[in-house]
């Protein structure tokens, strides 16, 4: 089921024709579906109904305030990786007490702000970070609740840039070090052990790596409990994949079965960190064709969206579907590279696609663009970032205005 469908040859978001948004707001523009966001959140929530976990949406996937507010209204918590993301969560009405703070490079200032806000957990990733958190807790007269992120050394079978559970990763600590750090934490006055954390990577499309990792982590959780550590939470991470081309990731129900089966004997309160699976297929990026270009070797369609707007193809060689907003009848398909205006050879958004040759002025959409699209957008080449629009049934509204040229140098001094 998709919230983006063709009706009488015109691509719609729910009941809104996308050309109407493009004409009113301009391009490039991200468009999100309230129905899809809600449906994806509830699918995970209902699949885990018996376990009653805390669903902490991974803010880095898409941090728009309207999306954060929507998930908070559905009862969701949040997984953050910076002080800025914490500020966004609070501004959107999210509950800090349902928030976990991950990431390998938390500053003392970020720790202080998060502890003052009363977050649920700090997911700690190194011995020195634990010592820094202890110092912050002692200085503030509080015990910061923490979970160590452990590295199970399991291959997530995903892109090497988003695999985080291997021993070569910068994330997490080995099991043996974790046991020693939990023991050391007993003597620290500024922290308290509240849980255990594991996250092996993003865009997971197979159950086996997740099952293997969580089985190992559940065993460690039980061993730590046997050592009288007062653990309550088991954070199983996120990373469930979506379909970009022909991937067949586990359904929410299968995901729940795997997680619950691996952790059922721990008695822990589960914490989940879904991100891409909630927002990825709930958004598209609208763009307009500027020019066509033919060389002896390639045929190009130049569009007004660039790698600064959608970085994933340049960063990961990621595939996003590319479809016209209005279907054309007939026409022979040819091989086309869809490229942006950024002055980089890597600014190729769709390579070697079989398309009816796009026409100048024609509107298209990059599909499955709700995750790591706008959140990775930049002002490279001094390009203002896109607008963002949220659709709800027949209604739609701008939830982030397009940046203006003068926004590009706000805060600078000549």
- Residues with catalytic function: 343
Peptide bond into 28 cis (omega under 30): yes
Q: Is 275 annotated as a binding residue?
A: yes
Number of neighbours of residue 93 by Cβ within 10 angstroms: 11
Q: What angle do CA 79, 80, 83 make, to 5 degrees?
A: 155
Q: How far apart are the C-alpha atoms of 404 and 153, rounded to whole Å?
A: 46
Q: Is 26 annotated as a binding residue?
A: no
φ, ψ for residue 179, nearest 5 deg: -60, -45
Q: Is 372 annotated as a binding residue?
A: yes
Q: Is 394 annotated as a binding residue?
A: no
Cα 219 to chain centroid distance, Å, stands at 28
Q: Is 312 annotated as a binding residue?
A: yes
Angle between the N-to-C axes of helices 83-91 and 108-117, in degrees from 0 to 180, rounded to the nearest 10:
30
Q: Is 239 annotated as a binding residue?
A: yes
> Taking every pair of C-alpha atoms in the chain, what is the biggest distance, in angstroms?
74
Q: Is 344 annotated as a binding residue?
A: yes
Q: Which helix (H) or strand (E) holds 66?
A: helix 65-73
Q: For residue 289, what are the contacts with CB-CB under 8 A and spacing of at least 6?
A: 301, 302, 303, 358, 359, 360, 361, 362, 363, 364
Q: Is 139 annotated as a binding residue?
A: no
- Identify whether the C-beta of residue 238 lies closer than 8 Å to the C-beta of residue 274: yes
Q: How far apart are the C-alpha atoms of 270 and 56, rounded to whole Å?
A: 10
Residue 367 to residues 117, 202, 212, 258: CA-CA distances in angstroms? 37, 19, 32, 29
Residues making up the annotated binding site for pyridoxal 5'-phosphate are 239, 273-276, 372
Residues making up the annotated binding site are 239, 273-276, 312, 316, 344, 372
């Amino acid at each position: 089921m998709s919230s983006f469908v063709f009706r009488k040859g015109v691509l719609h978001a729910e009941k809104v024709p996308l050309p109407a948004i493009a004409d009113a707001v301009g391009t490039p523009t991200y468009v999100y579906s309230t129905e899809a966001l809600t449906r994806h959140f509830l699918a995970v929530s209902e699949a885990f109904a018996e376990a009653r976990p805390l669903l902490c949406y991974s803010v880095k996937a898409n941090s728009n305030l309207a999306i954060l507010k929507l998930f908070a209204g559905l009862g969701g918590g949040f997984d953050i990786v910076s002080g800025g993301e914490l500020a966004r969560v609070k501004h959107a009405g999210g509950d800090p007490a349902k928030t976990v703070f991950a990431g390998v490079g938390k500053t003392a200032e970020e720790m202080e702000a998060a502890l003052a806000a009363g977050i649920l957990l700090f997911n700690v990733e190194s011995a020195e970070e634990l010592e820094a958190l202890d110092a912050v807790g002692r200085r503030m007269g509080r015990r910061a609740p923490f979970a160590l992120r452990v590295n199970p050394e399991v291959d997530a079978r995903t892109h090497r840039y988003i695999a985080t559970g291997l021993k070569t990763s910068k994330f997490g600590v080995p099991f043996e070090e974790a046991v020693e750090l939990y023991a050391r934490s007993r003597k620290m006055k500024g922290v308290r052990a509240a849980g255990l954390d594991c996250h092996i990577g993003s865009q997971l499309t197979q159950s086996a790596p997740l099952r293997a990792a969580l089985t190992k982590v559940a065993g460690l959780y039980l061993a730590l409990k046997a050592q009288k550590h007062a653990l309550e939470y088991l954070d199983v991470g996120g990373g469930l994949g979506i379909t970009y081309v022909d991937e067949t990731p586990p359904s929410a129900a299968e995901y729940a079965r795997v997680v619950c089966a691996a952790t059922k004997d721990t008695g822990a309160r589960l914490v989940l960190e879904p991100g891409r699976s909630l927002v990825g297929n709930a958004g598209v990026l609208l763009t307009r064709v500027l020019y066509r270009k033919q060389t002896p070797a390639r045929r190009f369609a130049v569009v007004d969206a660039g790698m600064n707007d959608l970085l994933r193809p340049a960063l990961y060689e990621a595939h996003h579907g590319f479809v016209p907003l209005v279907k054309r009848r007939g026409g022979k398909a040819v091989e086309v590279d869809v490229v942006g205006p950024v002055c980089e050879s890597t600014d190729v958004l769709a390579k070697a696609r079989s398309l009816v040759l796009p026409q100048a002025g024609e509107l298209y959409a990059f599909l499955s663009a709700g995750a790591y699209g706008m959140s990775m957008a930049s002002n490279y080449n001094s390009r203002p970032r896109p607008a963002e629009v949220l659709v709800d049934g027949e209604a739609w509204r701008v939830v982030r205005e397009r940046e203006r040229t003068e926004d590009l140098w706000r805060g600078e001094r000549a």
